[in-house]
Every structure is written in C-alpha cells, then in structure tokens.
Chains A and B, each alone.
Chain A
C-alpha cells in the first residue's frame, strides 16, 4: 500500500532525477553551439586612420562636436587631432590646441599655460598630424572598472555610456590609457566617442568620416571580407596605439611612427 508520505517522496525524487538530464539538454543546445562557434556576430565596427592623408584642418572635430552636442567651446572633445613636429635634435614637440578644432593656424607649438614655442623650418626633420578617437577596445578597461555597469560594450564592439545610469565617479576616465573619456559639461556623466553609434547603426557613416575631405578617416566592418577597410587592415601594414596595455584597440593606423603617444 503506498502511503501519502512515500508518494510525495518518490515524486520529488522522480522530478529531481528528471530535472538533471533535462538541464543537460539545455546545456548542449545545438543551435547555440553552432552560433557560438563562429561567435555568431556579423558586425564588428573598426576604424582606419590614414595619418599620411591628414592635413590637420580640424573639420572632423567640428563635425563631431556639432553632431554629438558637445558644447562647442568646452575644452573637451570626443575626437581630436594632434600635431607632431620632430626636430633634428631628436626631440618631439606635440600639441592639440582646442583638440585641433580650428586647425593649426599658429606655427608655434602650444606648450600649455598660454606659452608657445617657435620652431624654425630648418630645425624640423619631420612633421605630421594624427587624429585620435575612442579605440572601442576588444578588452575595454573602462567597461571593466565601471562600478555600476553604466558603460558597456555592444554586440558589434562599440563601447557606450548610459547617461541615465552613470554615477560620475570617474573611474573609467582614469582607467582609459588613451584619455578619450571626460565628463559631459551639461549632463555631468562620463562621455566618449561611440563611433556615432546612432548613425552607423542606421547605415550611415560617422560624422568625422563625413567631415573629412581627404579620406583620412574611414569606418568599416571587420567581419565583412569585402569591406574596403577590412581589406586594407588585413593586407597592409597597419598599427594600433598602446598595444602594451592589452586593451586590443580596434582603431587601426596607417603610417604610425614611434613618436606617436
């Protein structure tokens, strides 16, 4: 005769026993396995900067500030252009007044605190411009250090900030080796370049790419082998910034030299 007690006991045992193999079925979902094998993602945004083509006009900075509503005269910017002047004595002089927003009209190098350093033409061994923006790292330290998860990486590789969630501690600003982060002067939350995510996700180019008349800036999808940017990155000699930090940056540079910081 089966008692109520033993019936309950046995049913629980049976449910428990069945749950185990059922959960194993869930573990080996073949669809998910297939998807995860090739990591399933069709898009990974990357950026290509051709430093040989940059003339330092600053249109990209202007375009970015307008598009992304970063107050025009605030001394912060999502993207900027650096000027490098290497003299024959081996010294490197760098500046980026107002992030290069107005171009580089003054020949003298801005050395801060309102001072400028004149460099004679005959002393210069080489000079060039380097545009900078967020590297949308594969291993982003800013995402790692955010205490509330307000900054996160999308499926297609772009690192975004949730302005409604950011507490403004500044840990991400400290954690970025490239100095791309700052506090938005109006929203008072962490702010950075996001490859104009609102544009690229709608099939458009970023504001800086649109603004560059020289083709120094290009955006592409590294997962698409037919993408011209992918072709250049995979076949030509490109470099990235500060690889030693292990961040795996995804902004690639053509013509990068050792002087670039």
Chain B
C-alpha cells in the first residue's frame, strides 16, 4: 500500500499521487514546539522583565520547557519515512529549505535553556554535592548521586554572595537572548507552512506570527495546568507531613500562593490569546475579502467541511469559552483548570486545522481529501501516524519532567 492511502479518502478530482502525507505527527510537532517556546517565554517574563508575580511559576516553566525540548523532535522522527537519516538535517543541511534551520535553531535554543538552568540551579547542585560529600559511608545510590551532582557543578563550587549575584546576571542575559530564539524556533515552524506556495491555505506571511502567538498561549496554559496539578499533589502531601515537619508550608499557605500565581499568569494568557485570535481572524477576513482563485475551494473547506473543527471547537470551545472563563471576576482553581484545558484543545485544533485542513483539498482545487485518523493500529505506519503515536508524544514530556524534577526540584527555593 502506498504511504498515505490507509487514511486518505478522496472525493471528486484529486491528482493521482495526492494523499494526506502530513498527518497527526505534523500536528503534534508545532503543538509541542509551541509549548516549548511558550513555557520559555513565560519564565523569561520573570527573569527579564522582572514580573515578580510570576516568580512562583518561572522556574517551573523553565524546567518544563527543557523537558519538552527533546519531545519537539520526536514527532518529526516518527513521521520520517527514513528516520535513520533524520540526523542528516543537522549534518548536511540544505539551507534554502526552512526545515534545514531546525538543527541550528534547535541546538542554540537547547544550549541557552540548558545553561540558564545550570545558572539557576548551580547553588542547589553545589549544596547537594557538598552534603553528599560530607556523608562518610555513602550507600551505592548516594555515591551515584554524589557523582552526578559533582559533575553537574562543572567544578564551580563557589556559592558566595558575589558568585550567586553573577549567576543571576547570567540568567537574566540568557533569558533575554532566549526570547528571540524561542520565538524563532516556533516562528520558523510557522514559516515551514507559510512558505509553501503550492498550498493555498498555508501560504501567508502571517503564519509565523500566528504560530508564535498561539504558541505562547498554549505554553502558558500548559504551565498553569501542570502547576496546578503539582500544587494539588503538594497540598495533599503537605496535609500528611505537616505533623511530622512543621516547617513545611501549610495547606492554606499553599492554596493562597497557588491562586495568586494562577490569577497573574492567566492575565498574560488572555493577552496573548487576544493577539492570536486577532491575527487568525485577520487572515480569514483577508482571504475572503481578496477572494483569490483558491478562495472558492477554501471557502468550502472552512465554512462547510471543517466548520465544526474550526468554528465550534477551535474558535468557540478553544478561544471564546476560556476567554469568558478567565475574564469573569474571582478566578477559581477549578475554572482555571477548565479554561487552560480548553485553551490547549483550541491551540491543538488550530494546528490540526492548519496541517490537516491544508491538505483537505486537492492542489487541482477540484476535489477534497479527508483524513481518517487511525485509532487502532494494524501496522507500524498506522501506529506512528495515528492516535497511539500522538499519545506517545504527548506523554513523554511529563515523564522527562518527572525525572528532571528529581535533579532540579522546581519548588525548592534556590537563590
């Protein structure tokens, strides 16, 4: 069977070789890089612009951004027909291609986040290493931990006040440098689509900007959501351990801290949400107003075939409802959870409507293609490019975050 035939339904005239070649993994790719970029921008708001209210979530989102980073590459690898050659994009890039920038942008960004994390957590690394060193008869696991943390200090064990201040200055500089790189990392994902002149739905110079705005929205939403979940777990743990360790923050303290952070962060979420919707609507209105040759078929895709996906799920449930939820006075945690989940759904559907919607019509402009998402896989291909593959990509960052949190605890005060 030809690649793409398993999940493509054709209607009216399409060229014989046309199938839905870019499937759910290519939906996941901009969705995941969007979360990476968004989480980083959120942490930078605190580090660069000194938005004090975001202090509680800044370190959290930085670590989360790092956990998401390797996963941004995963959907691409799962999508490639020759994954063993995927590394060639970095080794032998062909620079007229938008994808070729991936290696450079991705590694630059990775290095910035890694070094920023190192400066943020250096004190913790040194303290842990010293504490473990002080133990005379280390168990095997303590020995391994000692090796790990000693390696992580990179030999810089000075944690005097001046050294820590220098660290903070470095963090600020790296966070500032990271914002344009994060925007570039995601903006270029938008450019990959926006520059395909053969595709009437994708080709618009607004695409990178739309992608960046919705990326920040989704990144902030996921950070709020994960933050709430981890805080809830901490509250439960705190209730249990309060009697044992009275110095731990009490249930009430945690609760008020949590709602403060969530309220402040959601304000930034709404701001970026407004920018994203404005740009998307501008694009839609502009297409209808100029009514180029392709508008006839685009109109039928947007207003008829994908109406539910675009207007009901993406704009309605994913944008309008959370917009109202966040703007209503006295935000509660429960409302914030619902709101952020809907925002994430909205951004995911936006990616879906761009990637799958862009292939919903033939480039002959005379026929349609329908993507039939493989749910139960019956071979490797339907596993990779179906629901299971997408879920795999969605779960991995949380596993990485769990491991990273062991080494770089997001809730322990460092500096």
Contact = CB atoms under 8 A, between A and B. Distances in A.
Interface of A: 74-77, 80, 82, 92-96, 98-99, 111-113, 132, 141, 143-149, 165-171, 173-183, 185, 188-189, 244-246, 261
A175 B196 contact: yes
Interface residues of B, number: 50
Main secondary structure of the interface of B (DSSP, over half): loop
Closest 9 CB pairs of A and B: A168-B81, A179-B15, A149-B94, A147-B99, A261-B364, A177-B198, A94-B13, A182-B17, A183-B3
A148 B92 contact: yes
A173 B2 contact: no
A80 B9 CA distance: 20
Interface string B374-415: 000000000000000000000000000000000000000000
Nearest to A97: B16
Contacts of A143: 96
Contacts of A261: 13, 364-366
Interface of B: 1-5, 9-19, 21-22, 76, 79-83, 85-86, 88-89, 92-94, 96-100, 102, 192, 195-199, 293, 362-367
A75 B18 contact: no
A178 B364 CA distance: 8
B11 A170 contact: no
B86 A167 contact: yes
Main secondary structure of the interface of A (DSSP, over half): loop
A166 B82 contact: yes
A170 B22 contact: yes
Nearest to A182: B17
A246 B195 CA distance: 13
Given A167-B82, A177-B198, A245-B197, A144 B97 contact: yes
14 contacts: A74-B1, A92-B366, A112-B367, A113-B10, A141-B197, A166-B85, A167-B85, A169-B76, A179-B17, A180-B15, A183-B21, A185-B2, A185-B3, A244-B293
B28 to A, nearest CB: 15
Count chain A CB atoms within 10 A of each CB in B4, B9, B198 and give the residue with the most.
Answer: B198
B21 A76 contact: no
B196 to A, nearest CB: 5
